[in-house]
Amino acid sequence: MSALLSVRRPLLFATATLLLGSAAASAQAETPAQQKQAMPAIATWEVEGAFEDVLQDVEDAIVGQGLKITYRADIAGMLARTGKDLGFEPLYRGGQVLQFCSARLSYEAMKADAANIAFCPYGIFVFQTVQKPDKVSVGFRPLPVPAGISAESKKAREAINALLKGIVAEAVGE
């Protein structure tokens, strides 16, 4: 077990460093006024219901758009498995991130700016915490639309955000 942890620790550290570095670079690239105009870092809706039912509603909304779910990240399961060895208390009763992509929207975004590849695939999360067993949260990380990007890139990112918001709104009954 200690060999497994010694391999995972550098990987986790490298991943965290990369993510924090990206966040810091993004924050430095925008002025405070631009940051205020940006979408929230995480867009979340909370509904009453069973985790499995809400998860199915999200899956149906994604597939209903003609999209294919390419990966399911069972975050709650991962934390439950590793938490036993690391002494973590349970956080979730259920928690997944569903990843998928729209070839049309991604093409438009990448045509506008090749670096927009960073936003594909898209992800929608669904989770239920131990503290709120009667509530399920659903949401996504909106693509940033900072000032200074091309009009084409802005339009493409906004279209992806609209798709994500529409999927979540359908799934939660808005």
∠ Cα 105 111 112 (to 5°): 95
Angle between helices 151-172 and 103-112 (to 10 degrees): 150
| Shared domain check, 26 and 44 | no
CATH code of the domain containing 48: 3.30.310.70
**pLDDT of res. 20:** 36
Residues of the domain holding 116: 39-172
**pLDDT of res. 40:** 81
**Tens digit of pLDDT for each residue in 11-22?**
333 333 333 344
**Tens digit of pLDDT for each residue in 151-173?**
999 999 999 999 999 999 999 99
| Shared domain check, 80 and 161 | yes
Measured between alpha carbons, how far is 163 from 160 in angstroms, rounded to an integer?
5
| Shared domain check, 84 and 47 | yes
Measured between alpha carbons, how far is 133 from 124 in angstroms, rounded to an integer?
20
∠ Cα 67 80 6 (to 5°): 100
| Shared domain check, 140 and 64 | yes
For 127-159, b/e burial (b = at least 16 CB within 10 A) is bbbeeeeeebbbbbbbbbbbeebeeebbebbeb
| Shared domain check, 58 and 14 | no
* Structural domains counted in the chain: 2
**Tens digit of pLDDT for each residue in 24-60?**
444 444 444 444 455 689 999 999 999 999 999 999 9
The residues pairing with 96 across neighbouring beta strands, listed in sequence order, are 74, 126
| Shared domain check, 81 and 2 | no
| Shared domain check, 146 and 91 | yes
Two structure tokens written together for 84: 């036993």
| Residue 88 burial by Cβ neighbours in a 10 Å radius (0-12, 13-18, 19+) | exposed
| Shared domain check, 86 and 143 | yes
| Shared domain check, 162 and 81 | yes
Please confirm whether the linkage preceding 146 is cis (ω < 30° from 0): no
| Shared domain check, 106 and 54 | yes
Predicted TM-score (pTM) of the model is 0.77
| Shared domain check, 51 and 10 | no
| Shared domain check, 66 and 24 | no
